[in-house]
C-alpha cells in the first residue's frame, strides 16, 4: 500500500451525522489510523466543506452545524499532520474566520474550485500556506478571470474537478482554449475519444491555457512546471527532488 494515493473525505452529507458523538469518535479514529498503515504518498484530508449555496445547508441551524464540524476537523489535520483539500462557496467570512482560529493546526492546503471575489482571494492569500485551486467553475465570467489574474503563480494550483466543472463555450475565457479532443456520447464509447459532456482529466490542459491567457503568460511549459511544483510542495513532497527544483528555479523569471 506504500504507493497508494488516498484522500480521506468527510462529505457534505456526512456533516448531518456528526452530531452523534459515537460517529465523531469512530470517524476520528479511522482517519487517524489510515495514515499509519504505510500510506506515505498522496495523503491529504478533504473535510467538511463550507458551501452556503447547497440545498439543505442554507439555514442558520445548518450553517452553525457545518462551521462547528468544519472547525472540529482541524483536530484531524493537527493529529495526522496531513495537508487539507478544502471547498469554500459564498462563505468566505465564516471560512476565513475558522482558518484564522486554526492556522497553527494545519500544515498547508488548497481551497479548490475557487469562485470568490478579489476580496475573498486576498483573504485566502493572507494565509501563508494556503493555495487557491482553479478549474472551469473559476473561469466562467470576465469578473472570474480578473480575480484569477490576481492569484500569484506560486500560490495557485489547477484542476478539472472531473467529471464536472468543464470549460464551456459560454465561458469568458473560451477564446484562450487551444487544445481540443474528439468526443462521443457515452453510449458510443471510443477509447480514442473523450466522453461528450464529461469533464475528463486531460482537459486540465484547457484550464492551464485559459489561466495563462488571462494572465498573459506565454511560456506554458514553465507555467505548468510552476503549478506542478506548487502541487507537489503541498501534497507530494517526495516527488520534488533536487533535479526538479533546479529545473523549476531556472524559470523563476516567468513568474513575475
- What pLDDT, in 10s, does the model give residues 32-47? 655 555 444 445 555 5
Prediction pTM value: 0.78
21-78 pLDDT per residue, tens: 444 555 566 556 555 554 444 455 555 555 444 445 555 656 556 677 778 788 888 8
Cβ pair 1, 38 in contact under 8 A: yes
Cβ pair 145, 139 in contact under 8 A: yes
pLDDT higher at 201 or 68: 201
For 41-91, give the DSSP string.
Answer: SSEEEE---EETTSTT--SHHHHHHHHHHHHHTHHHHHHHT--EEEEEES-
Residue 13 has pLDDT above 50, yes or no: no
As a whole number, mean pLDDT of residues 181-197 equals: 94
- Tell me how far CA of residue 237 lies from CA of 82, 125, 228, in angstroms: 12, 21, 11
**Which residues have CB under 8 Å from 67's CB, separation 6+?**
50, 94, 98
117-169 pLDDT per residue, tens: 999 999 999 999 999 999 999 999 999 999 999 999 999 999 998 888 999 99
- Please give the domain boundaries of the chain with CATH numbers for all domains: 6-255 (3.20.20.140)
Would you state the cell numbers that stand for residue 20, as one nine-digit string? 452523534
Residue 223 has pLDDT above 60, yes or no: yes
Amino acid at each position: 500500500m506504500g504507493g497508494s494515493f488516498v484522500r480521506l473525505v468527510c462529505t457534505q452529507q456526512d456533516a448531518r451525522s456528526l452530531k452523534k458523538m459515537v460517529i465523531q469518535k469512530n470517524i476520528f479514529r479511522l482517519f487517524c489510523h489510515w495514515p499509519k498503515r504505510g500510506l506515505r504518498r498522496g495523503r491529504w484530508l478533504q473535510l467538511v466543506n463550507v458551501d452556503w449555496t447547497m440545498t439543505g445547508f442554507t439555514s442558520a441551524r445548518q450553517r452553525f452545524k457545518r462551521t462547528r464540524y468544519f472547525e472540529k476537523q482541524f483536530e484531524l489535520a493537527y493529529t495526522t499532520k496531513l495537508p487539507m483539500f478544502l471547498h469554500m462557496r459564498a462563505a468566505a467570512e465564516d471560512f476565513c474566520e475558522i482558518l484564522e482560529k486554526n492556522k497553527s493546526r494545519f500544515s498547508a492546503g488548497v481551497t479548490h474550485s475557487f469562485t470568490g471575489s478579489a476580496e475573498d482571494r486576498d483573504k485566502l492569500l493572507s494565509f501563508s500556506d494556503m493555495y487557491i485551486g482553479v478549474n472551469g467553475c473559476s473561469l466562467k465570467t470576465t469578473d472570474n478571470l480578473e480575480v484569477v489574474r490576481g492569484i500569484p503563480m506560486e500560490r495557485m494550483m489547477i484542476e478539472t474537478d472531473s467529471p464536472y466543472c468543464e470549460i464551456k463555450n459560454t465561458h469568458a475565457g473560451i477564446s484562450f482554449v487551444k487544445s481540443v479532443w474528439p468526443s462521443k456520447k457515452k453510449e458510443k464509447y471510443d477509447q480514442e475519444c473523450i466522453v461528450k459532456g464529461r469533464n475528463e482529466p486531460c482537459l486540465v490542459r484547457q484550464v492551464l491555457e485559459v489561466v495563462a491567457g488571462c494572465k498573459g503568460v506565454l511560456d506554458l511549459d514553465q507555467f505548468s512546471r510552476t503549478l506542478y511544483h506548487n502541487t507537489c510542495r503541498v501534497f507530494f513532497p517526495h516527488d520534488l527532488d533536487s533535479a526538479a527544483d533546479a529545473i523549476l528555479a531556472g524559470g523563476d523569471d516567468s513568474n513575475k
